[in-house]
Amino acid sequence: MENQGENSSSCRRLRVVMFPLPFQGHINPMLQLANILYSKGFLITIIHTNFNSRYTSKYPHFTFRPVLDNDSKNNNLSMLSSKGIDDPLSYNLMMINYCIDSFTHCLTKLLENEPVACMISDSVWHFTQSVADSLKLSRIVLRASSMSCIPVYATLPFVSEKGYVKTAIKNEVVVVPMTKKDIDKVYKGGPEDAKLDLISSTIKETKAASGIIVNTFKELEETAFLAIAHDFRMPIFAIGPFHKYFQASSSSLLEQDRSFMSWLDLQPVNSVVYVSFGSIAQMGQAEFSEMAWGLANSKQRFLWVVRPGLVSGSERVESLPDGFGEEVGERGRIVKWAPQQEVLAHKATGAFWTHSGWNSTLESICEGVPMICSPCSFDQPINARCVTDVWKIGVMLDDEMDRDEIGNVIKKLIIDKEGDEMRQRSKALQEKVNISLENGGSANQSLKDLVEYILSF
Ligand code: UDP
C-alpha cells in the first residue's frame, strides 16, 4: 500500500460513500478504490446489496450499510445468487428496481448523521445521479470497464459501413475497430432494446456526474480519452490499474484454491496457458467439451478455472469428457477459483485464455501476459478488440468453440514466434503501467488530482 499522502490528516475527517454493483468484476475495483482512498485519509462507507456481500467482513476499516434488507420481492435475487447468473441484464434491471427506495432512504439517513464529501457509485447504478441531485450531494462515477467502451457505447447502435466505430468528434479517428459481429455480441444476453436502454441511461447519467474515475491509465487508451473529451466535460481521473496499489485483492466472493501452486512452480517459464472466463460468463455442455478437447489436443500445459455455474444451469463443477483425465495427465490442472493475479504474475504462465472482462484484461497487461480472447457479451468484445487490433497483444477466438482451432491458437501463443512477439509488446505495456504509477507518472498525478477534487466539495 502506498504511504498516506500529504492530505491524509485533513481527509481523515471527510467521508466518502461508495456503492458497488454486486458482481465480482465491479466489486473488486470499487473495493480497491476504497482502499486507495482510505490510504489517502478518507473515511469510507460502503452501501451494498445483500446479494453478493460476503466480502464485507474482510474490511473492518470501512463502515457497511445494506440496502434491499427484508425485501420480500427479493426472493429472485437470492435464488439467482446460488446458481450462477443466466441473464445478467434482467438481473441488473431487477436490482435497479428493488434498490431505488431502499438506497434513497439509506443515503438520506447517512447524510443526516454526518457530512459526506461525495458519493462514488458504479456507472451502471445510473439512478443514483437523480438521488444524489435531490440530496445535493456530488456524485462521481466509477467506470469499472475500459475507457474505450464509452465512445463505443455512446455511438451505439451505429456502426459505420466500414464496420468500425468512429468518433463523431474527430472524424476518421478509429477508437476501436469493432466489426458488426463484435457489436452484435455487445448486445448478446437479453432483449436488445433493454440492453440499449441500460447502456443509454448509464452514458446519460455519467455525463451528468461531477467526475469519472476509470480503472485504466492514460497511455493505454489515449484515443478513447481524446474521443470523449468534447462530450464528457467533467474531470476524468485515470488512476488505474487499481490492483497495483496493493498486494492482493480480498474481495473475492469464492474461496481461492492454492493447492496447484506447487505444480505451477515446477512448470517451465512461459509454458502454461491459464484459462478463466471470469465470474459470470456461461457456456453450454457442448462448448465446454470442445474447450476440454482443445486444451487436451494442444499438448500444452494448462491451468483451467471451472467455477460452479460455468456450464449453464449447473451448480456443480462439470464432469469432464471421458478419457480427458488420462489424455492430459500431469500436463493440466483444474480449479474452481484461483488467485488470478498471482497466477498471471507467475513465471510459468505464458498465455491467458480469457473472456476479456476488463479486470482480467488489465491484470494480464500488468504482468505482460499475451491473451487468447473469447469475449461473450457486454464490454468484453470491445476489450478484446483493443487487445487484438489496437495493442496487438493477443488473438481472437470468437467463433463457435472448435477443438482444432483452440489447439492451433494455444500453440501459436505458447510455441510460435508470433506469440513471443505479442509477449514482447505486452511486456512493453507492463513497463508503461509501472511508469504511470510512479511519482510523476500519469496515474500517480491523477490520483493526487482526485484527492484534491474530493477535498474541494
Ligand atoms: N478472478 C479470480 N479468480 C478466478 C477468476 C477470476 O480472482 O479464478 C477475479 C479476477 O482476478 C478479476 C475478476 O475475478 O479481478 C473477474 O473480473 P472480470 O472483469 O475479468 O470479469 P467478470 O467476472 O466481471 O466477467
| Tens digits of residue pLDDT in 10-54 | 566 899 999 999 999 999 999 999 999 999 999 999 999 888 888
24 CB near ligand 1 (under 6 Å): yes
Q: Which structural domain, as residue segments, surrounds residue 214?
A: 5-154+190-249+436-455
Enumerate the active-site residues: 26, 122
Is the pLDDT reported for residue 70 higher than 50?
no
Give dist(CA 130, CA 137) in Å, integer. Answer: 10
Say yes or no: 241 and 298 in one domain: no
DSSP per residue, 102-134: HHHHHHHHHHHHS---EEEEETT-TTHHHHHHH
Computed over every residue of the chain, the mean pLDDT equals: 89
340 CB near ligand 1 (under 6 Å): yes
Give dist(CA 408, CA 298) in Å, integer. Answer: 7
CA angle, 397 as apex, 371 and 280 as ends, to 5°? 75
| Range in 100-104, 248-252, 253-257, 441-445 the model is least confident about | 248-252
354 CB near ligand 1 (under 6 Å): no
pLDDT value of residue 51: 83
- My answer on whether omega of the bond before 115 falls inside 30° of 0, hence cis, is no
Say yes or no: 265 and 350 in one domain: yes
- Residue 167 covered by a domain: no
- Residue 419 covered by a domain: yes
- Residue 184 covered by a domain: no
CA 337–ligand 1 middle distance (angstroms): 9
25 CB near ligand 1 (under 6 Å): yes
Mutate to test the pocket of ligand 1, among 188, 340, 358 (most ligand atoms within 8 A of CB): 340
309 CB near ligand 1 (under 6 Å): no
Give how many domains the chain has, as a whole number. Answer: 2
CA 252–ligand 1 middle distance (angstroms): 9
- Residue 240 covered by a domain: yes
pLDDT value of residue 5: 46
User: Which of 256, 44, 232 is CA-nearest to residue 147?
Assistant: 232
Nearest CA to ligand 1 atom 24: 25
CA of 243, closest atom in ligand 1 = 15
- Bridge partner list, 287: none
Say yes or no: 213 and 313 in one domain: no
Render the burial of 441-452: b for 16+ CB within 10 Å, e for the rest.
bbbbbbbbebbe
Say yes or no: 327 and 412 in one domain: yes
- Residue 172 covered by a domain: no
pLDDT value of residue 315: 62
User: 33: Cβ–Cβ under 8 A, 6 or more apart, which residues?
Assistant: 18, 120, 142, 213, 215, 242
Say yes or no: 81 and 128 in one domain: yes
Question: How large is the average pLDDT for residues 302-316?
Answer: 85
pLDDT value of residue 3: 42
Give dist(CA 275, CA 62) in Å, integer. Answer: 33
Q: At what angle do helices 358-366 and 417-437 cross, to 10 degrees?
A: 90
The per-residue pLDDT for range 161-173, each reduced to its tens digit, is: 777 787 665 566 7
More confident residue, 318 or 256: 256
pLDDT value of residue 192: 76
DSSP state of 390: I
Nearest CA to ligand 1 atom 2: 340
pLDDT value of residue 187: 80
pLDDT value of residue 413: 97
Say yes or no: 204 and 288 in one domain: no
277 CB near ligand 1 (under 6 Å): no
Say yes or no: 206 and 346 in one domain: no
- Residue 181 covered by a domain: no
Distance spanning both ends of the chain, measured CA to CA = 26
- Residue 304 covered by a domain: yes
- My answer on whether omega of the bond before 157 falls inside 30° of 0, hence cis, is yes
The per-residue pLDDT for range 376-412, each reduced to its tens digit, is: 988 999 999 999 999 999 999 967 889 999 999 999 9
Question: How large is the average pLDDT for residues 217-246?
Answer: 93
Say yes or no: 231 and 285 in one domain: no
Here the CATH number for the domain that contains residue 340 is: 3.40.50.2000
Say yes or no: 223 and 309 in one domain: no
CA 265–ligand 1 middle distance (angstroms): 22
- Residue 175 covered by a domain: no
CA 89–ligand 1 middle distance (angstroms): 18
Give dist(CA 170, CA 100) in Å, integer. Answer: 38
| Range in 56-60, 73-77, 95-99 the model is least confident about | 73-77
Is the pLDDT reported for residue 292 higher than 70?
yes
Give dist(CA 89, CA 93) in Å, integer. Answer: 6
Is the pLDDT reported for residue 85 higher than 60?
no
Say yes or no: 209 and 284 in one domain: no
Sign of CA dihedral 386, 387, 388, 393: positive
181, 398 contact by CB (below 8 A):
yes
210 CB near ligand 1 (under 6 Å): no
Say yes or no: 201 and 111 in one domain: yes
- The CA–CA distances, whole Å, from 357 to 126, 180, 269 equal 21, 20, 25
Is the pLDDT reported for residue 72 higher than 60?
no
Say yes or no: 209 and 293 in one domain: no
pLDDT value of residue 8: 60
Nearest CA to ligand 1 atom 11: 340
Percent of the chain scored above 70 by pLDDT?
89
More confident residue, 77 or 420: 420
**Which amino acid is residue 408, in one-letter code?**
N
Question: How large is the average pLDDT for residues 290-314?
Answer: 93
113, 176 contact by CB (below 8 A):
no
